[in-house]
Amino acid sequence: MTSDTHIGLDTAKPPLGAAADWTIPQHWERFTPVEHRVWDLLFARQQECLKGRAVKQFFEGLDLLKLSKPGIPDFDELNERLFARTGWTVVSVPGLIPDEVFFEHLSRRRFPAGNFIRAATSLDYLEEPDVFHDVFGHVPILADHVAADFIQHLGALGLEAHAGGTLQRLARLYWYTIEFGLTMEAGARRIYGAGILSSFGESVYSLESDVPHRARFDINQVLRTRYRTDSFQPRYFVIDSFEALLETVSEGLDHLYEALEGTEDLDPHAADDVRKAA
């Protein structure tokens, strides 16, 4: 698992060597054989673990984008296939980037990916998203047209929330969908959130453990519910489909922010806060 997502950093100045939008050259040729082997190990382990657990769009994306090719993906090659499919590209960044910069990239159909990979001694935990989390977890879903449109729309909503002082609520929507979302597929729950897809332990826990609460997706509940960044999630929200998710946010969120002003946050551990999922 990762201890955090991109959301939460608000540093104004990019580091030395980064462009104004915090992007940097990938320099794929600089990755070492050891780093490529770490990717291959993570990929093989996670691909096997996700059989029967991940949404079909994830596996379709792996095939369409040829991500099973050994080694950390070369973004130039990956972007040729991804852009041709949905108009998205992956851009390399040094690590966590400011919220406004992150959402600006999403709004322009660019997904920022950390230009490093975890150590072989830390396969199951890292403090910020690396290239495996960002590319294996997020990018296959970007090959789905509806999911790709939703994530771009979420980027635009993120910019609005950053400007309007409502980023805390928008961050919850991002967290409970793009990072830790579940969906229904052929009557069964499946994973589509990157934080779960890239986590060996949470891939099983999110679907099979009796510990977490699983609730039908309700936008008002999502915007009110706190989340954990230091452990497996105590709550997951289950959407019906990407189409339904996109429709839910298509008219913006300002009216919901206004309606929820002054309401108390919900505890993700509390069983009675939200409706149970089927």
Inter-residue contact 1 to 232 (CB < 8 Å): yes
- Domains within the chain, CATH numbers bracketed: 28-260 (1.10.800.10)
Confidence of residue 127 (pLDDT cuts 50, 70, 90): confident
Inter-residue contact 97 to 77 (CB < 8 Å): no
Confidence of residue 12 (pLDDT cuts 50, 70, 90): low
What's the pLDDT at 132?
97
Confidence of residue 9 (pLDDT cuts 50, 70, 90): low
pLDDT exceeds 80 at position 162: yes
Q: Tell me the average pLDDT of the chain.
A: 93
What's the pLDDT at 219?
97
**If residue 116 lies in a helix (H) or strand (E), which one and from where to where?**
none
Phi/psi of residue 225, nearest 5 degrees? -90, 125
Inter-residue contact 263 to 224 (CB < 8 Å): yes
Sign of the CA dihedral running 39, 79, 16, 158: negative
What's the pLDDT at 11?
56
Over residues 200-220, the mean pLDDT reads 97
Cα distance from N-terminal residue to C-terminal residue, the chain: 26
For 3-53, the DSSP string reads S--STT----SPPTT--TTS-----GGGS-HHHHHHHHHHHHHHHHHTTTT
**If residue 106 lies in a helix (H) or strand (E), which one and from where to where?**
helix 99-107
pLDDT in tens, 53-100: 999 999 999 999 999 999 999 999 999 999 999 999 999 999 999 999
Over residues 254-265, the mean pLDDT reads 96
Confidence of residue 272 (pLDDT cuts 50, 70, 90): low
Query: What's the pTM value of the predicted model, to 2 decimals?
Result: 0.93
Confidence of residue 122 (pLDDT cuts 50, 70, 90): confident
- How far apart CA 226 and CA 249 sit, in angstroms, is 19
Residues 6+ apart with CB under 8 A from 115: 24, 26, 27, 92, 93, 94, 131
Provide the token pair at 216: 């039908």
